[in-house]
Amino acid sequence: MYYILIAIVLFLGVFLVLAQLTYQPQKPIKYGVTFSKEFASYLGLDWQKAYSDMLDELQVKYLRLPVYWDQLEPQKDQYDFSAADWQIGEAAKRNVKIILVVGRRQPRWPECHDPAWVNSVSSKEAREKLLKNIELVVNRYKNNSAIEIWQVENEPFLNFFGKCPKMSKQELQEEIDLVRKLDNRKILLTDSGELSTWYPLSKMGDYFGTTLYRTTYNKYFGYWNYFFVPASFYRLKALALGNSLDNTMIAELQAEPWFSDGVTATPLEKQLKGMNADKLKANAEYARKTNFSRAYFWGVEWWYWLKVNHNNPSVWDAAKEYFK
């Protein structure tokens, strides 16, 4: 027991020294948002107005945008790019830089947004259609100046979360190779900040993005707060893997409550305890201390829902300062 305590003290001492030595207090960070048309619609919002107000009122300049398979190919071999075209076009008008997500697994529950017809085809055919989908998306938008980075899949190896078939490293590599063949823009891969080692994903792309959640929920432990994890944990984790901090970003920075029962089933008072203006600011400052290059807020649709449906613009207004 004595030796274990000594080992713990030594480990903590080394950690604190490395945390201090690697911290650059003046290093800037760029903030952006992830926007989901599907989630905005789920909240009962006019998603196009929410999107336009996000760009014009918040002055967002960095945007991560999912392109869901069920929206692009609602019927087999019948494609609808209208929503994606509009969003990317509006961003281009305002010189917004987009991370466009391609692949089957995308941000927002249930992660895989498969069209209904996928259930009636073989897994081999579904795979072929998915690769065709990626090819169509990349070819359609690769000449658009608003597209800055391609994200291939979203947390592809987080098999216990979401309703998705398991993905192999070989399948992911096939998709990465396809995107590289079609366009020379850099590729982002993402993983969970708290529930994974980041390996091998942090080595497979040009950029690596982590999630960063301060409060989570699961059915076994209820709400769990990561108050004991310092921002330096993420920085040292990246450096230990040999990753450049300039090529590492926070792809999802928690800025909405964790909805254990969904938005409509969660009392507003409870939601505002889980996330509010003060917590958003605290999370933004925490993200800055990681020394990563960017942080994309998660929850802009919820901020807007609070503002227009509940006459509560507090979180929306608090976020404005981060996009100046």
CA distance linking residue 271 with residue 259, whole number of Å = 8
Return the CATH number at 253. 3.20.20.80
pTM for this entry: 0.95
- Indicate the SS3 state at residue 77: coil
**Percent helix, strand, coil in the chain (nearest 5)?**
45, 20, 35
Residue 15 has pLDDT above 60, yes or no: no
State the chain's mean pLDDT as an integer: 93
- Please count the structural domains in the chain: 1
CB atoms within 10 A of CB 13: 10
Mean pLDDT for the stretch of residues 282-301: 98
With both helix axes pointing from N to C terminus, report the angle between 82-93 and 123-141 in degrees, rounded to the nearest 10.
Answer: 30
DSSP letters of 236-274?
A: HHHHHTT--GGGEEEEEEE-S---SS-STTS-HHHHHHH
CB 323 within 8 A of CB 31: yes
CB 43 within 8 A of CB 263: yes
**What is the tens place of the pLDDT at every residue in 47-95?**
999 999 999 999 999 999 999 999 999 999 999 999 999 999 999 999 9
Domain that residue 7 falls in: 2-323
CB atoms within 10 A of CB 58: 22
Q: Confidence class of residue 2 from pLDDT cuts 50, 70 and 90? A: low
**What is the tens place of the pLDDT at every residue in 195-219?**
899 999 999 999 999 999 998 877 7
The DSSP code for 210 is E
